Structure 1
Amino acid sequence: MEQKQISVPAKQHQWFIAQNLESDTQIFYTIDDHQYHYQKRVNELHGRRIRAYFHGWVILSNHPDDVLWSLWNPLTSKLIRLPPLVHEQEPAHECCLSAPPDEQGSVFLLTTSEVPTIVFSRLDRKIKRLKWTEMSYVKQLRIISGVDGCLLESPTCCNGKVYAMTLGPDYRFVILVDIMVKGDKEVVITLMPFVKVPYTSYNRCPAYNNFDTIDMFLIGSCKDLFCIGVCFTDETMIGNVYLFKLDFTSMAWEKVVDLKDAMFFIEYASGYSTCYYDSAVNSEVGGYVHILGESGKIIYSFHAEDRTVSLSSMPRLVQESRVHAWAMLEWRLEIDHFESKQEEAEKDAQIIIKPEKGDNTDFDCRTCESHLLDIPIHILEIIMEHCIGIEYMRFRATCKYCRLAAPSIQWNNEATLRRLHTYSLVSPLLMVLDNYRGIITFIDPICGERYFITIPQELKGDYQIYCSRFGWLLMYKIEGGPEIALFNPFTSDIRKLPRVPFLQSFCFSAPPTSSDCMVVGFTRFGPRHIFICFVSREPTWFYFRLNFGGDDPYSYHFPTFNGRDVYALYNNKGVHSFRDMTETDYSWDIVTDETPKSHCKSRAKYFMASCDQHLLLVIIDDLGRSVEVFKLNESTTEWEKTNCLGKHMIYISGTSCICLDAKSPEMGNKIYFPRTLHKDATKIVFYSLETDRYHNFDDKSIQESFSADLLKTKHYCDPHTWIEPSWF
């Protein structure tokens, strides 16, 4: 095998293969550090692309027609060639190997996304001549599901058995594909229902009940069966990843909150989706689900423990080579030349770190040089009575002694409310709702500090955040019946609203404690499209039908109140207004029927906010390389580009777009994102309209620009939003 060294690899890294099918070369690289990569040619991969990996064997098919299939063991270099596969339908096959080829009863099988058939070949040593057999499973699945049109997807192996999924809208089940070998020739395949596909929340995806917005993968290891759901907030960006592992004792899916040393790799880029699993990687690179997007250039890395998605690009060598296929393999490369060099480098680079004196001493704030805590506790308690909000939370988080001086208080008591009239923060906080652990995290974008509270029992479950305003959240969930609530996380005040059909977007006009709070929701599904609830009155929903005048109903996003009027983006094309809304009537007008032309080279995202009685529109491309702000001229109903927000600042997330007056000079003329630096989760990312670059704060000091795009940053999965602290 011809080999060209580019950089010496490290042992602890997981290796990926990028295949250039035109030049028959492969690039081996590490996903966590692009400096480790090299290019070589593997003879066994000549004219073939990697399709899957089972039981130590790599599944290969020829490019581009997938007629010739083979199995390759990279440790023994053994290659098994199957006879040509003649197929009339589109090849788009998914494959599975039931057992190692040298075991009795081993079967290699293929499924397709278009025809309800299984094509299989028996492989064990008793078979002298391999052949393909095609079996239709239409009748079996019809009997099992009671519906027509079901197809098997994502076949995999676990505990010596083969499983697959059927993901029809009326039947979502994991199917046991029971393979029985009779005698020397006959193979009988029987389908049996095994367990339901785990529930995942669809209500934060663009189209409810459009299952194409969530891709499901079934993947097995030696003893574990996993189900992975990848949720797209649009056609390209990943909003959430759901991880489940099956408990074979209770036959229930358990949510995975920590992958530990394991990781997955999902590929969309080669015209079909594949999923790989590795359970023995180094802890420094484990714990991730790596997702290669359809463009083949961007890798989304979901970290299961902190529920963030990092963006990184493929190594430049891979992009310049115009690679056509990728793969992650469980086997490790054994290259003596590289490993010996790496061992020498490690010996030369040995560094011994000795702890300083006192490093092992338990922290006690009373041992610090600061003499604040030398004050008698009753005096300290009097001082803390004059501290509120975030300062109070910071002090309590210091140590047990501080918690004695600053006990937990009810923020809604009268004495506290009087003090809160004069209290305000410099910036909204980034709020992350972790339904898995039942924790709400607040992140200060200026200093990077974090604060935690538990989710109230009444809101535990699969609640999603749909709107944030006045320090309140509008939350909604579908599981267990549609439920909607207004929630102030700072006062723990919850206002439940009557049940309502699924709505795509919401806004509300005032704090729910106000007598004139009105909640407005929009949907494109069903006969009713606008829903209104007056919170202080008798709890009920009033609804209206919109006459769209065509077959395609409108989707409304980022509705916002401007006074008593509601403005909303529709279909990312223009702005509609809804005025004089009452229980029985409203006025519906087209403000503008087009969005401004932008310089986005990739798919644009639109965010609308109200600012000083004016409408602002922020347009951003997928990777944040183009960020533009437009202001609506109401007299001409045209969007005018602006390069300066002045004293204003904008906070955007998938569910909110807030425009506020900056309370300190360094905060203004900036757009804040729900993102942090990949290597430092305390650094919130913002875009400066003055420099046209991305920066972060270091305790109110603006750091130098780190990038012109959002690569090497990470965002929090839904649900999250920006929230203005309010104790009212």
Structure 2
Amino acid sequence: METKHVCASICDRLPTPLSANHPWLVDWNIEAEEDDSRDHIDYTVRDPLSHQRCQIPSHLGKRIRGCSYGWVILSNHPHNDMWSLWNPMTSKIIRLPWLISRKGPNIIQQCCLSSPPDEPGSVFMVTAERYAIVFCRLDRKRKKLKWVEMSYAKQMRSIAGCDSFLYSLTSCNSKVYALTTVRSNLSVVHIDIMVKGREIVISLLPYMEVPYHYMNGCLSSTPFLIGCCTELFYVKLGLNGVGHITKETVGAVLVFKLDMTNKRWEEMKDFKDAAFFLDLAHDYSAFYSAAVPSGLGGYVHFLDRSGKVIHSYDFESKTIALSSMPACGAPLLECRLHGEDTENEMRVSSARDGNSNSTRIEAREENMEPCLLNFPFDVLKVIMEFCVGVEYLNFRATCKKCQSAAPVIQWSKGGRLHTYSLVSPWLMVLDKELGVISFIDPMFGDKYFIKTPRELIGDLRIYCSMYGWLLIRRHEGPLTFFNPFTSDIRELPFAPYLDSYCFSAPPTSSDCMVVGFTTRGKWPVYIHFVGREPSWRRFHLNFGVDGLRSFHFATLYRRNLYALYNNGGLGFIDTDNPDFTWCEGPRSSCTSPKQNFLMKCDEQLLLVVVSEFGECVEVFKMNDSTEWEKTESLGRYTIYICGKACLCIEAKTPEMANKIYFPRLHSENRKIVFYSLETRRYHTSDVEESFGGDFMGTKHHLDPHVWIEPSWL
């Protein structure tokens, strides 16, 4: 059985026996013809559990190839010689003639409907692998529709200077556009369609280049061109995955809108009432809905390559939530605590309705105090001495008596928060737009904020996090050490852009050594002794590994420098006599694409293997024979892993031991997610029972984020 999904945006002007106020997710179930249970199901983004089911025998064996102007495009995959257009609102079907080519098999790449079929000059077209466009004019006055094939290779060579394919076809304002590569730059091409009597003439015209933007260190990207009514959008998904991740994962999402008047791209920072839908699993189709129900806008939903998981990027929180098909990720509303200003805000908002109402609220608050806090004032002050951070602010906001017992404290200058923060590393997130750094406490979920130093505001890339320090680089800036707790910034001598870095000690130590790796060029290893030498040393090593692509998670262990290469093997360099040795990675039972994380834990070298969506988690340790052994328990230790840091520390509290913390939040309670090696399930600190066996129902940040051990020195 083959299942195909597509997000179809329904036009408001069409008759609507179904709801036209929001997009529908069409789930097509294709089975054998003798099975009478075949049907298609329409799920809504508003309520994935709500659906409408109907049987359409005429669509047996068809595959959804896209949706445009409220019409679903169908073909008989993999032959692609029978095409039809179906309007799910009116149940109307337009069957196109057989697509038979004399030049070879029909390897169809993209398809597009230039305008609604009932408009004069409407054309349905597909692009073939051999630099060809095959189109059919949807002229209802003609008794018989026919396909026409034309080669665009000559026109493309005159535009791009070489052969280049057209892809990401879309229509906007009854005009067709596509993406192509022109002189090494990604550009938009206008596919001009002119009607001359009964003939159609198609010409390719250069339009404009797409915008360039820094993608948070992503090494590749997937572009989409999306048209809707009179608007044209460019969506770019930045991809990680070359090296330590065997499957590409989205690391950045950018959306641009074209100003048709000035021919200028404008980056969209917010689109409250709109949503995008991208399909990475099938034909890279893309859809845009300008008006979705309140609270559901501001998202970019994309179906991943597996066709089983929907990723929903929230532009407001800059997080990606995961959900299984057919349930689309639903946006969450966020409530913010205003801390010390809560009482004043209550007075102002209440006073708008009249003085009597304001007085009544204040009186009720004063009457509630004896019921809530029947404690002597001195006892209350003693209790507050054990409160820190958000807990302290929440207590101050309770009532006047609590506010008097808990005076304002400069946390950065006091020692109470310093002691409290040593319980666990914190998840640190850099918001480059607001210039704010946030810290999330994995134990209680409390969040703390500090301002980003002015010299670090902008596009930052985090390379490593150890000892409470970050090794970062600002775009087109120097490599820099940064302690966010003390705001200490220390620039390093010039170094080329390398793939990965690690360091052996805090930069305040005389033993601090920074090591960088690259798989490009003659010098693959760079070493700098901070405080001893003014420049970097370069080393040429004979790796002896075929197809070496990258090094990640470099770790100093027993005077050797270890690192993962190509997301599997382990390589190590003898620092006394520089030479490279390598060994194979462990045999994991994870069958799906996976990530490997290398770290030092006490006197052992550990490797954590995590499958694509967290359904499989395994821990291995290296023995004295440099062989991997699977371990079922971490004992009193806790692991914190993310793409830029792997920390293993002794748990300060028993409830944190034998767990692996991920840089993920539960989609409902927004608590940090951890994996228990005892229960083999995922949990948060809010619930005793597990919430699942994978990452479904969780979300992660796209902004630069990393685990960091608080250090106030």
Contact 2:303 2:309 in 1 (8 A): yes
- The answer to whether structure 1 residue 687 and structure 2 residue 684 are counterparts is no
CA-CA distance at 1:167 after TM superposition: 4.6
CA-CA distance at 1:506 after TM superposition: 1.3
CA-CA distance at 1:17 after TM superposition: 1.4
Amino acid at match of 2:520: F
Residue 131 of structure 1: aligned partner: 146
Residue 461 of structure 1: aligned partner: 458
Structure 2 distance, partners of 1:465, 1:397, is: 36
Change in CA separation of 1:515 and 1:223 when aligned onto 2, cut-off 3 Å? farther
Which of 120, 126, 129 is matched with 1:104 structurally?
A: 120
- The answer to whether structure 1 residue 643 and structure 2 residue 654 are counterparts is no
- The answer to whether structure 1 residue 473 and structure 2 residue 463 are counterparts is no
Amino acid at match of 2:516: G
Residue 708 of structure 1: aligned partner: 693
Contact 1:629 1:643 in 2 (8 A): yes
Superposed, 1:44-123 pairs within 5 Å as: 45-87=59-101, 88-89=104-105, 91-112=107-128, 114-123=129-138
CA-CA distance at 1:685 after TM superposition: 1.0
Superposed, 1:114-513 pairs within 5 Å as: 114-125=129-140, 129-146=144-161, 148-167=162-181, 170-201=184-215, 203-204=217-218, 208=219, 211=220, 214-234=221-241, 236=247, 238-248=249-259, 249=261, 251-270=263-282, 272-315=283-326, 369=369, 406=408, 411=412, 416=413, 424-476=421-473, 478=475, 481=476, 483-513=478-508
CA-CA distance at 1:187 after TM superposition: 1.5
Three-state SS of the structure 1 residue aligned to 2:523 is coil
TM-score where L is the length of structure 2: 0.81
CA-CA distance at 1:389 after TM superposition: 7.5
Residue 21 of structure 1: aligned partner: 30
Amino acid at match of 2:82: L
Structure 2 distance, partners of 1:455, 1:92, is: 49
Structure 1 distance, partners of 2:578, 2:485, is: 36
Residue 555 of structure 1: aligned partner: 550
Q: Which segment is superposed worse, 508-517 or 393-402?
A: 393-402
Residue 521 of structure 2: aligned partner: 526
Contact 1:144 1:193 in 2 (8 A): no
Change in CA separation of 1:655 and 1:547 when aligned onto 2, cut-off 3 Å? same
Change in CA separation of 1:407 and 1:566 when aligned onto 2, cut-off 3 Å? same
Please give the per-residue CA displacement for 1:242-264, whole angstroms capped at 9, x wherever unaligned.
13122415544343343323222
- The answer to whether structure 1 residue 598 and structure 2 residue 588 are counterparts is yes
Change in CA separation of 1:715 and 1:168 when aligned onto 2, cut-off 3 Å? farther
Three-state SS of the structure 1 residue aligned to 2:305 is coil
Residue 697 of structure 1: aligned partner: 685
Residue 665 of structure 2: aligned partner: 676
Structure 2 distance, partners of 1:202, 1:508, is: 22
Aligned-pair Cα RMSD in Å:
3.9
Amino acid at match of 1:445: P
Three-state SS of the structure 2 residue aligned to 1:525 is coil
CA-CA distance at 1:663 after TM superposition: 1.0
Residue 336 of structure 1: aligned partner: none
- The answer to whether structure 1 residue 654 and structure 2 residue 643 are counterparts is yes
Amino acid at match of 1:261: D
Structure 2 distance, partners of 1:451, 1:61, is: 53
Contact 2:21 2:291 in 1 (8 A): no
CA-CA distance at 1:393 after TM superposition: 8.1
Contact 1:656 1:721 in 2 (8 A): yes
CA-CA distance at 1:407 after TM superposition: 7.2
Structure 2 distance, partners of 1:103, 1:563, is: 74
CA-CA distance at 1:563 after TM superposition: 6.3
Change in CA separation of 1:179 and 1:424 when aligned onto 2, cut-off 3 Å? same
Three-state SS of the structure 2 residue aligned to 1:485 is strand
Change in CA separation of 1:407 and 1:571 when aligned onto 2, cut-off 3 Å? same
Contact 2:216 2:460 in 1 (8 A): no
Amino acid at match of 1:636: S
Amino acid at match of 1:717: L
Structure 2 distance, partners of 1:158, 1:364, is: 59
Change in CA separation of 1:593 and 1:93 when aligned onto 2, cut-off 3 Å? same
Three-state SS of the structure 2 residue aligned to 1:218 is strand
Three-state SS of the structure 2 residue aligned to 1:229 is strand
Please give the per-residue CA displacement for 1:473-531, whole angstroms capped at 9, x wherever unaligned.
222355xx364322222222222334433322111112223333222111112222112
Aligned positions, number: 651
Structure 2 distance, partners of 1:453, 1:620, is: 32
Please give the per-residue CA displacement for 1:434-485, whole angstroms capped at 9, x wherever unaligned.
334433221111111112233333223322222111222222355xx36432
Structure 2 distance, partners of 1:514, 1:398, is: 45
Change in CA separation of 1:130 and 1:428 when aligned onto 2, cut-off 3 Å? same
Change in CA separation of 1:561 and 1:503 when aligned onto 2, cut-off 3 Å? same
Change in CA separation of 1:196 and 1:363 when aligned onto 2, cut-off 3 Å? farther
TM-score where L is the length of structure 1: 0.79
Structure 2 distance, partners of 1:500, 1:291, is: 37
Three-state SS of the structure 1 residue aligned to 2:684 is strand
Change in CA separation of 1:86 and 1:358 when aligned onto 2, cut-off 3 Å? farther
Residue 724 of structure 1: aligned partner: 709
Residue 616 of structure 2: aligned partner: 626
CA-CA distance at 1:163 after TM superposition: 1.6
Change in CA separation of 1:475 and 1:365 when aligned onto 2, cut-off 3 Å? farther
Residue 350 of structure 1: aligned partner: none
Change in CA separation of 1:116 and 1:226 when aligned onto 2, cut-off 3 Å? same
Three-state SS of the structure 2 residue aligned to 1:553 is coil
Contact 1:471 1:726 in 2 (8 A): yes
Amino acid at match of 2:83: W
Structure 2 distance, partners of 1:105, 1:123, is: 7
